[in-house]
Structure 1
């Protein structure tokens, strides 16, 4: 540690850094935005709460499940059938949050086993905030533990 301070004294590094910090301290103070800057193209989110029905998102769940299984888990599993699809919650939190519709149901997979699926439809949740997005979890097949335990993170 002593070598660093002696090096700084010999080379004048300390004086240079001191002068630089001194100039920064004398700089102009930050100011608040003027009215034009404050309201220029900053309208904020306007959530309408118009979300697809639970059944309308099943195609997205099916295709995303097949893509995830084949790409990441080298599995040929696909969803072959749905049953008992129902809404669990709609906007379960205060109204200023992003609108979501939570749904659950049963799925039959190509291996002949039945599982439960939990998914949510999210307003402006698609790619780059465009269109509605769908997040889902098939109980027993959450291999990367994104919604563990037992897909509890995919429920409201």
Structure 2
């Protein structure tokens, strides 16, 4: 009984190794979808470019900024309001890329100072790609330097 189980497991291991090697050999170059991929709904990049205005993301930015400051930086800094909200660019890259609306605003922060906010709205960039998403950076509050220098990486 044990010998038979060992033989089945060994055979399954060899079969899966052969399948993986065949798949790896093909993945190095452009190839058509295989039978496994065709069994899953793959519609491709069907973007419609319908993104909300720059003002639509400000509530989300305010909420996430306050949450991030409190949770990770032990700070009670908040964004109180915005001024000079403007679009900087719309899908500035090659045709067929994910549509993005790049924006900029000046935020009134509870510290009494004004800070530039660079952000972009991405089509299908929200939770599980169900809606648009926003990525932002407040100049002077990029403590872990993700968008350094001075939030430049959040611009086009």
Per the normalisation by structure 2, the TM-score is 0.77
Task: Give the Cα–Cα distance (whole angstroms) in 1 for the partners of residues 144 and 22 of structure 2.
Answer: 45
- What is the correspondence of 1:100-115 to structure 2 with a 5 Å cutoff? 100-115=100-115
2:91 corresponds to which residue? 91
Aligned-pair Cα RMSD in Å:
2.4
1:55 corresponds to which residue? 55
1:11 corresponds to which residue? none
SS of the residue 2:104 aligns to: strand
Task: Give the Cα–Cα distance (whole angstroms) in 2 for the partners of residues 37 and 106 of structure 1.
Answer: 46
SS of the residue 1:43 aligns to: coil
The structure-2 alpha-carbon separation of the partners of 1:38 and 1:84, relative to structure 1 and needing over 3 Å to count, comes to: same
1:134 corresponds to which residue? 134
The structure-2 alpha-carbon separation of the partners of 1:39 and 1:76, relative to structure 1 and needing over 3 Å to count, comes to: same
2:3 corresponds to which residue? none
The structure-2 alpha-carbon separation of the partners of 1:48 and 1:74, relative to structure 1 and needing over 3 Å to count, comes to: same
SS of the residue 2:67 aligns to: helix
2:82 corresponds to which residue? 82
1:68 corresponds to which residue? 68
2:125 corresponds to which residue? 125
Kindly state the Cα deviation for residue 30 of structure 1 after the two structures are TM-superposed: 3.9
Kindly state the Cα deviation for residue 40 of structure 1 after the two structures are TM-superposed: 5.4
Kindly state the Cα deviation for residue 70 of structure 1 after the two structures are TM-superposed: 0.5
Kindly state the Cα deviation for residue 37 of structure 1 after the two structures are TM-superposed: 5.8
The structure-2 alpha-carbon separation of the partners of 1:55 and 1:42, relative to structure 1 and needing over 3 Å to count, comes to: same
Gaps of 5+ in 1: 1-22
Q: What's the CA shift string for 1:18-56, capped at 9, x where partnerless?
A: xxxxx78xx68848735x964752211211100010011
SS of the residue 1:115 aligns to: strand
Kindly state the Cα deviation for residue 61 of structure 1 after the two structures are TM-superposed: 0.6
Task: Give the Cα–Cα distance (whole angstroms) in 1 for the partners of residues 148 and 67 of structure 2.
Answer: 20
SS of the residue 1:84 aligns to: strand
SS of the residue 1:49 aligns to: coil
Task: Give the Cα–Cα distance (whole angstroms) in 1 for the partners of residues 75 and 52 of structure 2.
Answer: 29
